[in-house]
Structure 1
Amino acid sequence: YQTTGSLYFWAAHLAGPRWGPFASWCCAWLETIGLVSGVGAQAYSASQSLQMIILLATGTNTGGGYYASRGVFLSMYIGFTLIWATLNTFALEVIAFFGIISMWWQVIGGLVVIIMLPLVAQQTQPASFVFTHFQTSPESTGISSKPYAIIMSVLLSNYCLYGYDSAAHLTEETKGADRTGPFAILSSIGIISVFGWAYNLALTFSIKDFDYLYDENNETGGALVPAQIIYDAFYGRYHNSAGAVVFLCIIWGSFFFCGLAVTTSAARVIYALSRDNGIPFSPIWRKLHPKSKVPVNAVWLCAAISIILGLPILKMDVVFTAILSISTVGWVGGYAVPIFARLVMEERNFKPGPFYLGRARRPICLVAFLWIGYTCSAFLLPTSYPIRLKTFNYAPVALAVCMGLVMLWWVLDARKWFKGPVRNIEVDSSSQHC
């Protein structure tokens, strides 16, 4: 079974024999937390998109449409999580088939939304508004500080970049990984950056009335800003919401396929970590189905944890921000470990491969490490004021508890036996490249 051990293998290799086990331990758990909670982030996004599709298809918030309650929303969230888990219990060929559909859906659907939305909108914003105007919406967020708004803007940009590391996870499964791996990673970052930026620009240029976007009495109930932007564009030109429903279906499909892929990746990470005995009850989670050769138990563990993360939906308004924060801090923070290890690693211990940054290596590592520190800090900040139970970002508490327990386990027990990634084959050390 293919594994997703690339990140913490890098951490173990770059940190050396002394610090390798600890570095890989931290990296593996951050990656696990990031991907498992990422399933919840995608389930929330898919549920919110479906909520808007149903609302606009049945008459909008101002026209008597059906707006899903918290209980129904949670049911959608759980439903998507269970569907993804069920699909991931089938053979890998099934997931690969969905992956092909997902690729074309993302490319074609993304281009349709990016190109058509500004063309449909009768009223578009000037470039000066898009690139120089600051709008904090203190009435809905309680935030009036422009510097704070700039810090918060990293939330959306990082979410658009979510998933670029898939190429990194698959490097150990490719031929000539020392060459194809770096190329795939860089190209995926470039492509997703362009698509994400273009999508944000299409939405921003198509804004009709900024203050109306957050109004609880608008057609989408102020619940999803992109949905309101799309609705305004189509209703302004065609006087109906049919086009907006179609566009939201495209967006919903993207979240659905992404959630399916993230579930696959999360199960791989849990399998890889349990393969190395780095997770409680490892023999259970690394067990493969005899026919499909899929770690079914790991898949359902991901689903169970994701459902638990979503339960506060019944009482809190910032669940998406919290789950997304947990996911991104874990996912991005996992990269900080091998990057820091490379930054402080003695050069004489490093054997360059075909893809080598040369003298630029340390400045790039330093910038990357500082950027990760900045983004992780931003995701732990409150996104709404004043801070109350319904607006409290519980991500710092959840992360502190999880990583605190992981570190306590390391100090008390795991450091005595955890040696890092288990090698499947023995390789001559003189031929290793990183």
Structure 2
Amino acid sequence: MVASSPSSDLPDYRAKSVGDEPVTSVLPDGDIAFDPHGFSSSDDELLASLGYKPEFKRDFNLYTTFSVSFAVLGLLPSFASTLYYGMGYAGTAGMTWGWIVAMFGLHSMPTSGGLYYAAAVLAPEGWGALAAWITGWSNWMSQITAAPSVNYGTAAMLLGAVSIVNPDYTPQNYQVFLLTTFIMILHAIISSMPTRWIAQINSWGSTFNFVALIVVVILIPAATDRESRGLSRFTSSAEVWGSIYPGTDFPAGFAVLMSFVAVIWTMSGYDSPFHLAEECSNASIASPRAIVLTSITGGTFGFFLQLVVAYTVVDIAGALDSDLGDPYAAYLIQCLPQRIAIAILSLTIVAGFFMGQGCMIAASRVTFAYARDGCFPLSKYWARVHPRAKTPVNAVWINALIGNLLLLLIFAGDVAVGALFSIGAITSFVSFTIPIFIKVFFVGNRFRRGPWHLGRWSVPIGVVGLGFVALMVPVLCFPALTGSRLTLDEMNWTVLCYGAPMLFVMMWWYWSARHWFTGPKINVEHLMLGRGGNVVEGRHLARDAVKGQAGDGNILFY
């Protein structure tokens, strides 16, 4: 598209129309992305087409983006941290069949762009801001609970290792809290470093995670000493695939569904590349490719890990109720010599540290992005980029503070702090589902496919994903016990921990935010060429862009 100046004092500009870019933008189709100094890269040009100016260095590539994503996925530490739910609710049958079924449902929930942005631009007219508001807050809650829950699991494993070496030691809640808080602070320091350093550290972490996972999958079946305990080397397939452990008061089929929380939480980090898209080169290809690589790699190796544990576990009840305070550590001691168990536990702890680091990075980018659009109180502070590090340092530390406050749930007991895991699963579901629901039922021809897309399978796969979510969200809110056995300590607090903040957020929307929150804001300077040919200088407001009130042929400057 050629934009000719209606005034003699303006040069001719030749630039791409937003309508020609493979994005669904908050800008009207006639707007033209333009930089008088020339775009430094095609990534920056595409970002301008979305209405944003580049604020980060693009030091991530496909591998380093995949590294963060795989680190956030953290198969080995994720599996270890959620063993209480994956094995404790339905036993080995829940682990094996549960992984297969849940993975099918999860892979029916792909995203084709930033959740919050997609919800805003795909929603029917007049509903974009509300869709972005709900999606953004749900996704943010998912992000800020990730690092605390991961680091809680890492701290529990570390103290469990101490208990193995010193049987007289029993971890106390305050010790778990202090150790988890210390890990959170370390992660905040690392996440405040320059992007290039963060990318390198996460490359190391991802490599370590992958190597540790392979070592564990091979070493456990090779070194198991079940035979010395009077057992067969491996549990029979009939028991592994057909035995339902009575870990809940619900029927076996429902218990298997409840065990899905382990799979959902484990795989919930595969969308992390989208949070790093503004720091990644060739982002329109590298980000979705990193997501595909993460989901395929995670799903495959995760299933093998499930099988290894299912075929070697000795006593499920003993692992769940062990004085070690960590079911994974107790399981390892059951089926392995102590030295090998300690070695595997050490690998898992280090992998968990890198996983928590990846979660902290992803959460800070989400906080920055939403603060940039004014979602939060004091947004101008959380949206600042450090001039030297070129990273959102303020966003990192506010997330760390909130995460440490959430860790106070440790003092309310294992079930209460377990709500962090269920919240992560449900909030991910809500934030993923809203843009998919809008795209399936309301978008029609308004959606522009990017370089990677599902083609004709997009709608049917989306329908399957929506059905899976509609089934699982209520299931994730059920407690394991019922009737007189259900006490306050055994309650599932997910509804309260997610519902109360979201109720406040919706009240805030009704009383205030709906008057000033307009969804994604455009932060590029521009000249606006009106329909009548008049030249108007200034900043293009997101409100006008969303409502389609701006004139066609706008030239955007930054």
Q: Aligning the two structures, in what range does the TM-score lie when normalised by the shorter sequence? A: 0.7 to 0.9
1:419 and 2:419 are equivalent in the alignment: no
The SS at the match of 1:293 is coil
CA gap 1:409/1:211 in 2 versus in 1, 3 angstroms:
closer
Q: State which of 402, 419, 426 in structure 2 corresponds to 1:329.
A: 426
Aligned match of 1:403 in 486, 499, 502?
A: 502
| DSSP 3-state at the match of 1:186 | helix
What is aligned with 2:473?
Answer: 376
| Maintained 8 Å contact 1:155/1:378 | no
Match of 1:51 among 135, 146, 159: 159
Find the counterpart in structure 2 of residue 135 from structure 1: 245
- Tell me, in whole angstroms, the C-alpha distance in 1 between the residues paired with 2:290 and 2:307: 25
Q: Which residue of 2 aligns with 1:106?
A: 209
Alpha-carbon contact 2:122-2:443 (below 8 Å) kept: no
Amino acid at match of 2:510: V
1:291 to 361, 367, 388: 388
Show the 5 A alignment for 1:46-125: 46-58=154-166, 60=167, 64=168, 66-122=169-225, 123-125=233-235
**More helix by proportion, 1 or 2?**
1
1:238 aligns to what? Answer: none
Partner of 1:391: 490
Letter in 2 for 1:225: P
Name the amino acid aligned to 1:183. Answer: R
Output the amino acid matched with 1:87. I
Matched to 2:331, the amino acid is I
**Distance (whole Å) between structure 1 residues aligned to residue 439 and residue 352 of structure 2:** 34
Give the Å deviation of 1:8: 0.9
Cα RMSD (Å):
2.5
Q: What is aligned with 2:144?
A: 36
Tell me which moved more, 370-379 or 405-414: 370-379
Answering whether residue 302 of structure 2 is matched by residue 192 of structure 1, we say no
Q: Aligned partners of 1:143, 1:77: CA distance in 2, in Å?
A: 32
Deviation at 1:356, TM superposition (A): 3.5
Aligned pairs, number: 412
Q: Which residue of 2 aligns with 1:224?
A: 326
CA distance in 1, matches of 2:357, 2:281: 25
CA 1:356–1:97 in 2, change beyond 3 Å: closer, same or farther? closer
8 Å CA contact 1:329–1:376 kept in 2: the answer is yes
Cα distance in 2, alignment partners of residues 2 and 395 from structure 1: 36
- Matched position secondary structure for 1:294: coil
> Equivalent residue for 2:416?
319
In structure 2, the CA distance between the partners of 1:2 and 1:233, relative to structure 1 (3 Å rule), is farther
Please tell me whether Structure 1 or Structure 2 has the larger radius of gyration of its CA atoms: 2
1:244-259 map, 5 Å: 244-259=341-356
Normalising by structure 2, we get a TM-score of 0.69
Q: 1:85 to 1:177 in 2, by over 3 A?
A: closer
Counterparts of 1:252 and 1:35, CA distance in 2: 21
1:273 match: 370
Distance in 1, Cα, partners of 2:252 & 2:234: 23
C-alpha contact 1:203 1:226 (8 A) present in aligned 2: no
SS of 1:18's partner is coil
What is the CA deviation profile of residues 181-236 of structure 1, one whole-angstrom value per residue up to 9, with x for unaligned ones?
A: 433322221111112212121111111233432344xxxx263222222112222x
Q: Of residues 320, 327, 336 in structure 2, which corresponds to 1:214? A: 320
Pair 1:358 & 2:455 matched: yes
Distance across 2 between alignment mates of 1:212 and 1:109: 26
Shift, 1:303, TM fit: 1.2
**1:149 aligned onto 2:255:** yes
Change (3 A) 1:173 1:292: closer
Report the Cα offset of residue 429 of structure 1. 9.8
Read off the aligned partner of 1:421 and give its amino acid letter: P
Note the residue ranges of structure 1 that are not aligned, 5 or more in a row: 236-240
Distance 2:553 2:181 in 1: 47
1:73-132 deviation line (CA, Å, top 9, x unaligned): 111121111221122222223322220111111110000011111111133212222222
Cα distance in 2 for residues equivalent to 1:181 and 1:304 = 29
2:276 is aligned, of 167, 170, 189, to: 170
**1:318 aligned counterpart, secondary structure:** helix
Q: 1:379 deviation in Å?
A: 2.3
For structure 2, which runs of at least 5 residues remain unmatched after alignment? Answer: 1-54, 58-64, 66-112, 226-232, 527-544, 546-551
* Contact residue 7 and residue 338 of structure 1 kept, 8 A: yes
Whole-Å separation in 1 of the counterparts to 2:410 and 2:435: 35
- Residue 365 of structure 1 deviates from its aligned partner by 0.9
Mark the CA change 1:159 to 1:429 in structure 2 (over 3 Å): closer, same or farther: farther
Question: Could you tell me whether the CA contact under 8 Å between 1:167 and 1:188 is conserved in 2?
Answer: no
Counterparts of 1:269 and 1:103 in 2: how far apart (Å)?
21
Name the structure 1 match of 2:20.
Answer: none
Equivalent-residue separation in structure 2 for 1:245 and 1:213 (angstroms): 16
**Paired residues of 1:71 and 1:314 also in contact (CA < 8 A):** yes
SS in 1 for 2:126: helix
CA contact (8 A) 1:154 1:378 kept: no
